[in-house]
Amino acid sequence: MGRTHAIGCCLLLLTGACTRTPAGPPSAPATPQVPAALVAPAPGTTPAPAPAAKVPAAKTTAAKAPAAQTTAASAAASHPKPAPRPGAQAKAAQPVTASGRASHAACGAFGRPAPLGALPKSIREASGLVVSQRDPTVIWVHNDGHQGRIFGVSAAHGTLVAEVKLKKLRPKARDWEELSDGPCGTARVGAATAGNATAGNATAERRCLVVGDTGDNGRDREAIVFHRLAEPDPRGGKQVIKQYETLIARYPNGKRYDSEAFVMDDAGIIWLWTKADKHTHLFRVPFVAGQARLEHVAKVATAAAMHVPAGRGTRLTAAAWDANTGRLLLRSYDAGWELCVGRAGLAAMPRATWHRIALVDELQGEAIAVGGGGLYHVSEGKRARVYRLLRR
């Protein structure tokens, strides 16, 4: 205490306006807190460990114990370290996911594929795959083509537990290629313009299935079709669905593409990738029943991003979106990739890094889904085996 301050304090003591603070080591300066919601991951980066400020109180180190109980804490407090710069702390913070939670798993880090049940004989060309939101032990699958049915299958045993038919399809089924899930409400058109794939509510109680009639091998379709229906009873046996919505969409400038991969985000926006050897075109459209025109988002050089020769292995055949983590799964006939876009949403996909996933070498892989603590995938073929990969 300086001499001038001591004299001043003594005068204040006479009037009762100053109270002397017992001597003790100075407290360490407070570490500024960086809100997790402000820390966004760079596309494709590996999540960094959480900063000390994120550790729960029950797991705090000895430095946070009272000085009277911990000698080490007293010594540390007598020589406090300067508070880290906010920018430096932000770099050490965990990436924030699309739901606002921290993502712990490294992008593309999965364990080895584990075989589960084999699909029933009625599913020989599995082309769409989604894990049931009502019963996570059931996967929804449909055949490639114009059959117009969705099947509920026990992932572990491969037994058929549901068969769903959409009544009076208009237009009639032509080439069903993909299955996704998403919100049942009206799409947020403004969110599509902003490219915000996380604007919806990933924990909404009511979820829908979305079927994509998007295949066009001959490039002779004037429009592609999407049907959205409330998720049926996943173990309800044979069911006929009379209420569903239909969106008929056309590509811009009268162009035509073959497509087998799309997802719906939680804003109700459909994001679709075309199928070709060297590149893919990314389109989007809000799901609003009726007719609409797809918006072109970007052209992505898939072969270059995958670091493999253009050909069969670079043709995108399926996609799956995890809104809770901001991670996108894409696959070709014989390989899979994960793209971690986080809070940036699916609009950041063209700039994201592709992390290869070692899938099982299948006959003709056209289906992938998020769930079961990781992902599921399956191929076309008689009694095709379902595989699950857990996150590491």
Note the pLDDT tens digit of each residue in 18-35: 444 444 444 444 444 433
**Domain 114-390 of CATH type 2.120.10:** yes
Q: What is the pLDDT of residues 280-306, one digit of tens each?
A: 999 999 999 999 999 999 999 999 999
Q: How far apart are CA 139 and CA 10, in angstroms?
A: 78
pLDDT exceeding 90 applies to what percent of the chain? 67
**For 56-87, what is each residue's pLDDT tens digit?**
443 433 333 333 343 334 434 444 444 444 33
Nearest one of 338, 335, 346, 344 to 313, comparing CA atoms = 335
| CA–CA distance, 312 with 351 (Å, rounded to integer) | 23
Confidence of residue 185 (pLDDT cuts 50, 70, 90): confident
The number of CA neighbours under 13 Å toward the Cβ of 55 is 10
pLDDT digits (tens, 9 = 90+) for 143-163: 999 999 999 999 999 999 999
Whether the upstream peptide bond of residue 171 has omega within 30° of 0, thus cis, is yes
Res 104: pLDDT: 58
pLDDT at residue 341, as a whole number: 97
**Residue 103 CA, distance from chain mean position:** 11
pLDDT at 52 over 80: no
The 3-state DSSP class for residue 110 equals strand
pLDDT band at 206 (very low <50, low <70, confident <90, very high): confident
Q: Which are the contacts of 80, defined by CB distance < 8 A and separation ≥ 6?
A: 26, 27, 28, 29
Alpha helix locations (H) across 121-166? none
Specify the DSSP element, H or E, that contains 88.
helix 86-92
pTM of the model: 0.72
Judge whether 273 and 214 are in contact, CB under 8 Å. no
> Given pLDDT bands bounded at 50, 70 and 90, which one contains residue 105?
confident
Give the pLDDT score at 188: 58
Tokens of 329: 């799964």
Q: What is the rounded distance in angstroms from the CA atom of residue 330 to the CA atom of residue 367?
A: 9
Q: Are 113 and 388 in contact (CB under 8 A)?
A: yes
Sheet strand arrangement including 385-390 = 114-118, 385-390, 374-379, 365-371
d(CA 311, CA 194): 33
Q: What is the largest CA-CA distance in the chain?
A: 97
Q: Place 44 in a pLDDT band, splitting at 50, 70 and 90.
A: very low
Cα torsion through 118, 119, 124, 129, rounded to 10: -120
